[in-house]
Homo-oligomer: A and B are copies of this chain.
């Protein structure tokens, strides 16, 4: 950039020192739970491959349980998910030379054409803890011997209990919730995705989204933090670590609806309540969005150092078949097209627009943050402090 001659200010340097580990986390935070697939994406007899924080993982379902194993055959390194070979309910067989591993322990049990081979029982590929709930398959990714495996609740948003509307939104792991959504790949580092997600200044990109125009919502241009109570740190013992925009405290977080210098004013008139918070290792909760009493969860799952898998989930209370039919109708005709696509497409656009600056132009030093970035800096410190480890790059990717 032409202005790159500018030197990093003293204030920037001090801030950066406080979240240095975060700056090194290009490949993600390790020893955390991440969503890998929707349950409906993994039928029986199919091996599916995903990459999370550089870990190549093969997933397979057998007798109703999902198993996750390293997705490189120990023999000659092919990804076993390239071609499914499921001969029994206890094994994963590599399609190339028939190396056959136990689903439970990853140990080589036989080689199709060499059943007495000396490698059998000695060679092993690693397995990953796996958890399936409400239609989502989660995998615990990080060090092979990390123990104890923390409960998945610790890597999700808190259950909301303080709700000014009197109707706290549903919780992802509960019974009787409706959970639907999509995931897709974003071409940016996962941290830029996270930071876009709950940044109070980014709302401007949504000013002409269909969902806003259709509902007449008085979308803010942004929100200005007025005192320390604008932001709250969440630190539950052995539980979620997060940071919350306290939009319900209007005296602390001033919503901005107009700017006189450039004569802009937000078009909608309908007041509404929404609150956003971000949890380690990068999980967003938006309360009362895309409609009152609903919640949107988002995960920004690192794939490698320049792409992430963007998960968008709609969660709502659901106590009957009627509720479910109603939810299904609203999801397919409102939440998914206008919320997850039209609205969030802008977020994807924005985070991808930052990628080359942060990757190639030393953006982490060159950025010039402003007042509304207080929570972004707060997040960086939180993530630097509460992660369970910084993911190392995989072999062949420097580091």
Using a CB–CB cutoff of 8 Å, the interface residues on chain A facing chain B are 1-5, 55-56, 70, 72, 74-79, 82-83, 87-88, 91, 93, 95-100, 109-119, 123-126, 144, 199-205, 220-224, 256, 259-264, 349-350, 353-354, 356-363, 366-372, 394-397
Contacts and interface: CB of A to CB of B under 8 A. Distances in A.
A261 B88 CA distance: 9
13 contacts: A4-B394, A76-B354, A78-B354, A82-B349, A87-B264, A91-B262, A96-B204, A98-B222, A98-B259, A113-B224, A114-B371, A115-B256, A360-B397
A264 B112 contact: yes
A262 B363 CA distance: 53
A290 to B, nearest CB: 21
Contacts of A98: 201, 204, 221-222, 259
B368 A74 contact: yes
Copies in the complex: 3
A78 B123 contact: no
A327 B218 CA distance: 55
B76 A125 contact: no
A371 B118 contact: yes
Given A91-B262, A118-B370, 14 more contacts: A1-B56, A72-B361, A76-B354, A76-B363, A77-B357, A79-B353, A97-B370, A111-B222, A112-B264, A113-B200, A113-B221, A114-B370, A116-B224, A123-B368
Contacts of A221: 98, 112-113
Contact of A395 (B110, B264, B361): B361
Contact of A97 (B118, B202, B264, B395): B202
A305 B276 CA distance: 44
A113 to B, nearest CB: 2
A113 B224 CA distance: 7
